Amino acid sequence: MSSQEAEKKLQQTQADLEKELKDLGEVPEMGSDTEGETFDTEADEAEEYSKNLGIKDALKGRLRAVKNALVKIQSGVYGKCEKCGMQIPEEILEVNPEARFCSHCNK
């Protein structure tokens, strides 16, 4: 995969991740004493928010890795292991274009 192909794939992944984060929504307004709100409704909102927090953290971490890979493309160091400097195998970059380490250093 060329740097240009990787960049296109990474940009699409970035857009997808940003959309997923946006779709997860903001913090629900809990405890607002809104008429018709029951304790069960509030509890459901709190549970949903708690679940989404973990998902958001994972998505944000992946988004950081994607942005980092895009910066590497721009600076001409894409595909090089951050530990040893060796080229990351093409098979790894095909599956995980934001990979930071070669297979030896990733152990």
Residue 75 structure tokens: 């600076």
CA nearest to 16, candidates 71, 98, 72, 99: 98
Query: For the chain, which ranges sit under pLDDT 50?
Result: none
Question: 17 vs 7, 48, 72, 102, CA distance in Å?
Answer: 15, 19, 19, 24
Rounded to two decimals, the pTM is 0.75
- pLDDT at residue 24, rounded to an integer: 81
Note the pLDDT of residue 104. Answer: 93
Q: Is 80 helix (H, G, I), strand (E, B) or coil?
A: strand
Q: What is the pLDDT of residue 33?
A: 52
The structural domains of the chain, with segments of one domain joined by +, span 3-77
Distance CA 62, CA 11 (A): 13
